[in-house]
Amino acid sequence: RCAELQIQLTEAVSTMAGQKELIAKLEHDLSTIQALPTVHRPDAEGAAVPSLEKIPEPIKEATALFYGHPPSPGTSFPEGQVDSLLSIISSQRERFRARNQELEGENRMMQHTVHALQSELDNLRADNIKLYEKIKFLQSYPGRGGSRDDTEQRYSSQYEERLDPFSSFSRKERQRKYLSLSPWDKATLSM
């Protein structure tokens, strides 16, 4: 029994030493990648890269594994290490995907809120103009003096514009002309 435990201990120690070496290599590779200011990317796929020697070895190895090319001579990854890297990258991709879906959901909620607030704002503006119209009507009775405040002045121009037949006609004509344009002209006009 003692010999069995001794064998298991030596196996565990050798596994731990191997893992320590892998961790040190991974930390070294990460520090090499982080030390780079930026990795130069070619202008197009297949374009010649004049500074290929600036790309660190870990990136070359990972790219070679990804595209199925054999890695550089002298650098072969054990099967367990490739599976380990694949599981790390897969879990990171899943975290990013979940975060992306969460952000898209938040974006949809924000857009919905903005649309709801915009429609509420439009309704409040219409209500304010109607209230101004009622104020105007009440002030038209004899014996009613009117002291105008800022709110009344602000809505008076909108009220007068709504009643102005020329601006209403102009708005309708612009809308008619716009609807008669071709889609290409509409796109050009919007640009």
Taking only the tens place, the pLDDT of each residue in 1-25 is 888 888 999 999 999 999 999 888 8
- Report yes or no on whether pTM surpasses 0.85: no
Nearest to 160 by CA among 183, 129, 116: 129
Which position has the higher pLDDT, 45 or 185?
185
Helices (H), 36-78: 57-67
18: which 2 tokens? 């191997």
Name every residue whose Cβ is closer than 8 Å to that of residue 145 and which is 6 or more positions away in sequence.
none
Terminal Cα distance for the chain, rounded: 83
Confidence of residue 140 (pLDDT cuts 50, 70, 90): confident
